[in-house]
Structure 1
């Protein structure tokens, strides 16, 4: 994939500023910014955006977007697992006035206590980073497949309360984040699709857990909202008949950009 919206940069210090949940993978900073830029091409120009991450984990993706991507009005995180949500709130608090300064002070204290230069470097990064904006944020425990819980978490989000404009989701994968596609059937590892039928992915089995997850996400969205889903493997499956806006591959990751309306109809 050629990067068009995220210039090459060393984000190691920013990674150190963010709190992470052990064993839970996060999207690389540059890829996060690039995917948001690609999605924005398909949304109204210059309109303040609301972004939802339906499997937000420790909130790193939303925090990166809030710090580095201009024009965000609100970021909303939900997750079915309560474990990492305190970390998500801690990370998203960096978007508050004074949040980066408070984090820098914490890192400086750690550097003095443990004599670790990496903490001092992260503190410097926190103090010198100029946020791209000050979006409002919220984090809620909610299973993306529970429509009522999701709609409650998203209440008032988006222009005139019509819902998020953009979803950016790193689909659950790995033994720490396996999720069930339904109450009676355990899903496989998300992002591991059936073989390709050609250069453009053929229709997936609608019982695929990733497909069911994306269908559920789409029920809470306006048809013109853009969903960006990232998975491990060759491609991210979509419902039969759903046409993607764009597909990309980066290393062992694949991503798809698609209108919510295509997921609702597919």
Structure 2
């Protein structure tokens, strides 16, 4: 794969996990540049298909919310809603804290926490984190809208009661578990198939689903067509769109 949108290796240290964004033991991060590339690819395709946004973005395997939070900072003006869920309650709690950084109140609280650490210990790392937090706060202040955020505990392989009033999903972007650090915590025989099954009624007519998996795992589903596909390092990115019934 060659990048089409995130062409420059911009310094994204402000979004480094554990710097301003919250982290905890066992939580995984997602490459910021790759997340932005996937989002921009999907945005271009949705716009070409007639859906110019702003978009409702969902990650059903959100972990600590790192992917969604990064996209909120980088592309917040393209998002009217961000929905996050995970089967792990500790991950959901971490995701809630990270997604709160996309609000002025959440950033003010985080700046206060980092400032207290710097005043107490005076470490250069705290000074750098404080400077990053101020820059991220400026991004939040500059957004034309604050995305509506919903974060909750749910098993992605089971039917989801989509209970909020934010409308259908325009995008699903999710880094599914594939061993090593995290794995599926479910009894489902084919977790990705179950996830895609239950996503169908939640998706807008013009929508796309990006599944990030190991490069050995091939993603396919009878209810979807493949709209895009590429590999990068150990990852495979598969973009799917709902099949439409052919006119009789």
Shorter-chain TM-score bucket reads 0.7 to 0.9
The CA deviation at 1:90 is 0.9
SS at match of 1:244: strand
2: distance between equivalents of 1:238 and 1:177? 22
Q: Structure 1, residues 96-128: CA drift from partner, whole Å, max 9, x if none?
A: 124323312211222333443222212111102
Where does residue 19 of structure 1 map in the other structure? 22
1:134 aligns with 2:151: no
Pair 150,35 (structure 1): closer, same or farther in 2 beyond 3 Å: farther
Pair 241,135 (structure 1): closer, same or farther in 2 beyond 3 Å: closer
1: distance between equivalents of 2:179 and 2:172? 21
TM-score under structure 2 length normalisation: 0.83
CA-atom RMSD, angstroms?
Answer: 2.3
Pairwise mapping of residues 57-206 of structure 1 onto structure 2 (< 5 A)? Answer: 57-69=63-75, 70-129=77-136, 130-131=139-140, 132=143, 133-147=145-159, 149-152=160-163, 155-157=164-166, 161=167, 163-174=168-179, 176-179=181-184, 182=187, 185=189
Greater alpha carbon shift after TM alignment, 245-254 vs 132-141:
132-141
Pair 244,53 (structure 1): closer, same or farther in 2 beyond 3 Å: same
SS at match of 1:248: strand
Where does residue 4 of structure 2 map in the other structure? 4
Give the counterpart of 1:28 among 27, 31, 46: 31
The CA deviation at 1:223 is 4.1
1:216 aligns with 2:198: yes
SS at match of 2:225: coil
TM-score under structure 1 length normalisation: 0.78
Higher strand share: 2
The CA deviation at 1:72 is 0.6
2: distance between equivalents of 1:75 and 1:261? 24
Q: Structure 1, residues 76-113: CA drift from partner, whole Å, max 9, x if none?
A: 11111111111111111111124323312211222333
Q: Structure 1, residues 53-83: CA drift from partner, whole Å, max 9, x if none?
A: 1011111111111111032101011111111
The CA deviation at 1:180 is 5.4
The CA deviation at 1:240 is 4.8
The CA deviation at 1:259 is 0.8
Higher helix share: 2
Structure 1: which 5+ runs fail to align?
186-207
Pair 87,209 (structure 1): closer, same or farther in 2 beyond 3 Å: closer
1: distance between equivalents of 2:13 and 2:87? 29
Structure number with higher relative contact order (C-alpha < 8 Å, ≥ 6 residues apart): 2
Aligned length: 232
Structure 2: which 5+ runs fail to align?
none
